Amino acid sequence: MRWPRRWFYLALFALLLFVTCVAIPTVAAEGGEPNPAEAPIGTLFRWLNFFLLFGGLGYLIAKKGPAFFRSRAEAISSAMTEAAAARAEAERQLREAEEKLARFDQEVAELRAAAQRESAAEAERLRTATREEVGKVGRAARAEIEAAERGARLELKRIAAQLAVESADALLRKQINAHTQAALFRSFLDDLSRSAN
């Protein structure tokens, strides 16, 4: 920012000097006086002004120009070096991307094959787990059925025994009367007396 400001002030000074050199003879000519620029001394001053102005500009350019142009050349050179490095990096990345793209179809095929293998293995695992669960449920159901069957048989035996006792009791009540009871009682007493002897 420092160099452009100096150049701006230098250009402004040169412009003011030029306007001053040109405007003074013009203003003097308007006043009705003879134009000193047309006189030989005016021509001398014009050439002197020209040499002073362009000599000063030449001096400033000769003094400040090489450093300015050198810094600009260095900036451009470093920018070109950075651009070359960026281009090399971009070309490297492009080559890597092209290599990845070339391998992409193969990787996709490998991923599909791996996914199919995993899917088949998962399906087989699920089938095996389902068979095991069905077997467990079947065994549990059979065990429950067998337990219920045993319980039903026991209940059936209990009911049959109860019915047999009730049926025998009813039959005995029909067949045993007072006379039969007395005969049975006597028989029982006879058996007791024999066993006591």
Q: What pLDDT, in 10s, does the model give residues 85-97?
A: 999 999 999 999 8
* Span 13-27, average pLDDT: 68
* Span 68-86, average pLDDT: 90
Alpha-carbon distance of 133 to 184, in angstroms, equals 66
Task: Give 143's DSSP letter.
Answer: H
5 or 123: which leads in pLDDT = 123
Task: Give 177's DSSP letter.
Answer: -
Where helices occur in 31-39 by DSSP H, the ranges are none
Alpha-carbon distance of 12 to 6, in angstroms, equals 10
Q: What is the pTM of this model?
A: 0.31
* Span 101-112, average pLDDT: 83
Joined tokens for residue 179: 């006379």
Q: Which are the contacts of 17, defined by CB distance < 8 A and separation ≥ 6? A: 49, 53
* Span 120-143, average pLDDT: 90
Residue 26 clears pLDDT 80, i.e. is over it: no
**Distances from the Cα of 134 to the Cα of 96, 138, 139, 171, angstroms:** 54, 6, 9, 53
**32 phi/psi in degrees, rounded to 5:** 95, 0
The mean of the pLDDT values for the chain is 81
Return the axis-axis angle of helices 40-175 and 2-30, rounded to nearest 10°.
140
- Residue 30 has what pLDDT? 54
* Greatest mean pLDDT among 24-28, 106-110, 139-143: 139-143
* Span 114-142, average pLDDT: 90
- Percent of the chain whose pLDDT exceeds 90: 16
Alpha-carbon distance of 8 to 12, in angstroms, equals 6
In sign, the C-alpha dihedral spanning 70, 71, 73, 77 is positive
Residue 37 clears pLDDT 80, i.e. is over it: no
Alpha-carbon distance of 75 to 180, in angstroms, equals 143
CA-based R_g, the chain, Å: 65
* Span 71-84, average pLDDT: 91
- Residue 195 has what pLDDT? 79
- Residue 35 has what pLDDT? 61
